[in-house]
Amino acid sequence: MLRRHPLLRAKLSSISRYSPPSQQVGRARQRRYASGEAGEGNTGHINVAPSEGVLFFNNLLPLTVQWPQRMLIMFTPRTPVLTREQRFEQAGAASPSEVVQNAIKASNLGLGPVTVVEVLPRINEAGAFLKFSHDESTDPATVAEAVRQHLRKNKIRPWWNPFTSVKAMLVLGKPWIEDLYRLPSRRLRVEFFPTQPGKEAAELSQEQLYSFFRPYGKLSDIVTQPSDSKVVPRYAYLDFTRIGKAVMAKNCLHGYTVTEAQGGGQLGTMFRLTYEKKQRTGWIWNWLLNHPRVFIPALAALIAGLSVTVFDPIRTLSIRAHITRAFHIEDNVVFRWFKTQSDDLISKVQQFRNASESDEGGMQVVWDDRKPDIEQIQSWLMETADTFIIVQGPRGSGKRELVIDHALEHKRAAHKVLVIDCKPIQEARGDAATIAAAAGEVGYRPVFSWVNNISGLMDLAAQGMTGMKAGFSETLENQLLKIWNNTTVALKSIALESRNKKDTDANLSDDEWLEAHPECRPVVVIDNFLHKSTESGSSMVYDKLAEYAARLTTSNIAHVIFLTNDVSFSKSLSKALPDRVFRQIALQDCSLETAKRYVIQHLDFDAATSSHPTSADETPRQLTPSQQRADLRELDHIIPLLGGRLTDLEFLARRIKAGETPTKAVNEIIDQSSSEILKMFLLLGGGENREWTAQQAWTLVRSLATSDTLRFNEVLLLDAYKKEGEKALAALEQAELIAVQSSNGRPYSIKPGKPVYQPAFQRLVADKVLAAKMDLAVLAEGISIESKRIGELETELHLLGELPKQPGELNGRIAWLLGKIAGCQGRIEGFERESAGLKKVLSSEY
């Protein structure tokens, strides 16, 4: 078969002179292992005499895992008997020299004497070159054919790959023996060089290349150089199906000269073969770019699955630890041991506790007054009803302290209280900040809030590529839903931790057991509910929070208590539980007697007593700070002005404790409240975006200065409130200028937002300049309203006057319109007279 190959017929070498076998063996022993991996003399070439030929053996070593074989060859002890090449032959699957000798002996082709001259190992290519010499009666092609037939009959299969066998072929070119760090590959780069410098080389076609390279193995593709390419020398790529075939072709045809008869041009063309690393990353990237509709959703699903599988259990444990205070230092066993063993530490902790509790002085009086409310909340927590508990009251009424510190004291001791403050969630700016704030309230960690921004950009890019969103980014609503779902799992595990298999009701399901044991459920306190609810975008957060609370109560997982300042809470909560009646406690201001006792106890709390002798015969009596001051008698007169708001009472007590008299302290508080009202409600800038006008606010201030209570519907009849009056009153109530009282859901009265606002209103009205300025603005608005009304009436009269004939039925309508115009004109004249007097005040007073 090899004899029929065109390359073999062209490269048959001349027959060398015959040498005796003894001389051939001696020469072989001297030269057989003289060369290494870099060729003879490290020149990179094999010098071949006319009577010599070269064979290449492949599959002698593992091609893909070469370093163990290289280490075995390098570190085998070097002895005078075994050289490096001999050790290579022992480490390989077969010894090339023995294969050749056995093939010559078994051949029936009439071969003459053939001697192995040397073996050149090619560890990187898992093969070896074998140079042999022959006599004149033998040609190299016949020797190669004999070796090939021998290997076909006696297949040598390596132990590391029994599906392949050792093969050998005649080297037709001039191989380049290099020891560079280049690994074989399936792709060969064939460059066409001229046989003489300065001449031109012929570029072979795909058919010609196929005829030369196909005998060495199956080709998968032949890629020729583009015709318009300017790269020289000209080249082509040949892709073999297996690396071993490419290695065989490269070592047998490198340096081969294609004659003119074979299509190599007039002077011939020489092959230069090199391994070309085929880019394997490109097809992956191209596939991703060409199939985004499949890849991007699959990647999104993979990321979501990993998040649920890996991070969700960690987040649930983090929420549970946050509720149970598992990592809180004061609940740590080691900390408590040191706390009990160290007297100094105990004293310091006690001092710190006294310092921290000094701000709570006098609160016991308030809690005694509100003990029924505390007991009511505790009794509701023992019931199985799945409904909300709402504690509503103005700011400073002590809602949080009442619920968390007193009503839930036993639950806090059992670590079954979760407090969610809506204020940081609502005040966060941006989706990422809102997610981080919500996660921080429940202990949801780890949280990657910044990933949402990056995912949004990825979704935008995917939408531009595929025309649809990939689902990487999630809305704020979905992110919050994930946080609440993980919190639900943690709360349920806490509620079920007290369940025992030995209980009589152990056969109940989890839901049935939770319904039968309301005392085991944890409590979720949602503080500052509807905080800044008038801002745009806030309703979504509160609606989702209400829906989450509804799921907790209806599933009997936890009790939910809302703390809110907003009186319109029922509108938001009714969406979540439309078929439930809420349990509500409305905290009002303290009574006057309780307010007085609160101030006195606040003065006496954590204060030293002094001895005061009553007479010469009696022992000194211990006096408290309140008993030492004679000006506290003024409290009976100033407490009604200040009212029972806890924040104002605490402010008063601090001022008195600082040395001020009660009257002066109250006057300062009233002045400060007056300044707040003036700045927030009356002196509105033109750019302020408020739902009420300064005239509407001043109308209420003037009316409430003379009356403690106003009728709600009577206020709506005033000129300032005839247009969107209820909306303005709701906004003023939300801003706490006023407080609207309701009966059976119907508003019926209006009171000042704080008790201290009553004297503040009176002080503002007593300011002649301010009152004149605001009254003048109210009168100007009244004049504008009446003038507009007259214009509408005159327009109707004008239409009636244009009729060609005045029927008698219109006389009553015309008389009514004229009377209305006269009444409006009279009111305008009255407003102008009042305005003239007010202008005199403004021009004469400072």
CATH of domain 362-446+478-586: 3.40.50.300
Sign of CA dihedral 782, 788, 791, 797: negative
743 forms beta bridges with 746
Strand-pairing partners, residue 612, are 621
Average pLDDT over residues 657-673: 89
Q: Measured between alpha carbons, how far is 457 from 27 in angstroms, rounded to an integer?
A: 76
- Output the pLDDT for position 341: 64
Return the pLDDT at 180: 85
CATH code of the region 187-278: 3.30.70.330
Averaged pLDDT of the chain: 80
431-442 and 476-496 helices cross at what angle (nearest 10)? 0
What is the structure's pLDDT at 2?
40
Please say if the pLDDT value at position 15 is more than 60: no
3-state secondary structure of 181: coil
- Asked whether the predicted pLDDT for residue 73 surpasses 80, the reply is no
Confidence bin at 643 (pLDDT 50/70/90): confident
The pLDDT tens digits for 360-408 are: 555 677 777 788 888 999 899 888 777 889 998 888 778 888 898 888 9
Asked whether the predicted pLDDT for residue 147 surpasses 50, the reply is yes
Q: What's the pTM value of the predicted model, to 2 decimals?
A: 0.61
> Could you tell me the residue ranges of all domains in the chain?
2-170, 187-278, 362-446+478-586, 592-670, 768-846
Least confident span in 236-250, 395-409, 443-457? 443-457
- CB distance 201 to 232 below 8 Å: no
Is the peptide bond preceding residue 233 cis, with omega within 30 degrees of 0? yes
User: For residue range 774-827, what is the model confidence (pLDDT) as tens digits?
Assistant: 999 999 999 999 999 999 999 999 888 888 877 888 888 989 999 999 999 999
Q: According to the model, what pLDDT value does residue 447 have?
A: 76
Does an H or E element contain 184, and which? none
Q: Residue 576: which of 616, 610, 526, 508 has the closest Cα?
A: 526
* Cβ contacts of 818 within 8 Å, gap of 6 or more: 797
